[in-house]
Amino acid sequence: MATKQLSTKHLLGIKYITPADIDLIFETADQFKEVINRPIKKVPSLRDVTIANLFFENSTRTRISFELAERRLSADTINFSASSSSVSKGESLLDTVNNILSMKVDMVVMRHPAPGAHMYLSQRINACIINAGDGTHEHPTQALLDAYSIRERLGSVKGKKVVIVGDIKHSRVALSNIYCLLKLGAEVKLCGPPTLMPKHIESLGVQIEHNLRKALAWCDVANVLRIQLERQKTKYFPSLREYSMYYGLNRELLNTLPKPITILHPGPINRGVEITSDLADSEHAIILQQVENGVAIRMAALYLLADKRD
């Protein structure tokens, strides 16, 4: 396994890691992908490590993927849901985490609705923190598995044209993808209604294209995002039906493009809104490969970060 090390002891966001860190995570994930396709899918690498999975927001893919990655590495794990904990009795985040850490926990995987919650904790506690999504801010392991899946499908990320379609304003997946893809040398366009585009986002080095057909005709890869109605406090478009007419992907639209494209979606999918059901299940989409790669990417991140513990 890797003799190189990450430049960081936490994974708070793609903004805070280097292109060399991303390459190292990918090279390590290649080896773990081979492991999880063996009849015995387990290695003893983290058998002396205890990891707490703290989920203050709902999750299917990320939570199960981290739990599986930890088990495949032989780590001891504890799982925490805010809804069944003493958070509902008014305990602070820092007190909750410090109580869990006093039980000799080494690493914390956390999803939290507050942007910056992980940065706040990393400045106050000793354990390694891994961001499994912080509000509308970052979702680093999702961006890593997305870029890894593009590399697997197209051979590399460098030089590829990627369009991120949909609710950019409320999406932590979009921001982490932008940082990750640009660090790996891809070109990035964003496509969606003007009301769902964050102000000054071009300053990150991306372009905006509001016409979906033009954006798809330009790209090699489209990463299609869900409309995050649960985070929208006001109406950003008249109806889901109208959103779907202008920004939904379907086969008829793909048939008008000059070349085939690869479609990603981080999930959960709202079939018939941002993408039609038949397209989501088609040969163009690598949605389930993304989920499979998520386990290898998270094994790689956990393994490399465990090596950075004090």
Instruction: Give the residues lining the site for ligand CP (CB under 6 A).
Output: 59-63, 133, 139, 142, 266-268
Shortest CB 248 distance to ligand CP, Å: 19
Shortest CB 259 distance to ligand CP, Å: 27
Amino acid identity, position 145: L
Q: CA–CA separation, 119 vs 131, rounded Å?
A: 9
Query: Whole-angstrom distance between the N-terminal and C-terminal Cα of the chain?
Result: 20
Residue that is written with structure tokens 């990891």 in the block: 51
Distances (CA, A) of 45 to 31, 76, 80, 105, 161: 13, 12, 23, 17, 37
Neighbours of 111 (CB within 10 A): 25
Q: CA–CA separation, 292 vs 29, rounded Å?
A: 11
Shortest CB 60 distance to ligand CP, Å: 4
Does residue 268 have a cis peptide bond before it, meaning omega lies within 30 degrees of 0?
yes
Shortest CB 142 distance to ligand CP, Å: 5
Shortest CB 150 distance to ligand CP, Å: 16
Q: CA–CA separation, 145 vs 296, rounded Å?
A: 8
- Select 50 or 290, whichever has its Cβ closest to ligand CP: 290
- Select 101 or 275, whichever has its Cβ closest to ligand CP: 275
- Select 292 or 307, whichever has its Cβ closest to ligand CP: 292
> How far does CA 170 lie from the centroid of its chain?
14
Shortest CB 53 distance to ligand CP, Å: 12
- Select 53 or 142, whichever has its Cβ closest to ligand CP: 142
- Select 43 or 181, whichever has its Cβ closest to ligand CP: 181
- Select 37 or 58, whichever has its Cβ closest to ligand CP: 58
Distances (CA, A) of 156 to 173, 234, 256, 268, 287: 20, 39, 26, 26, 18
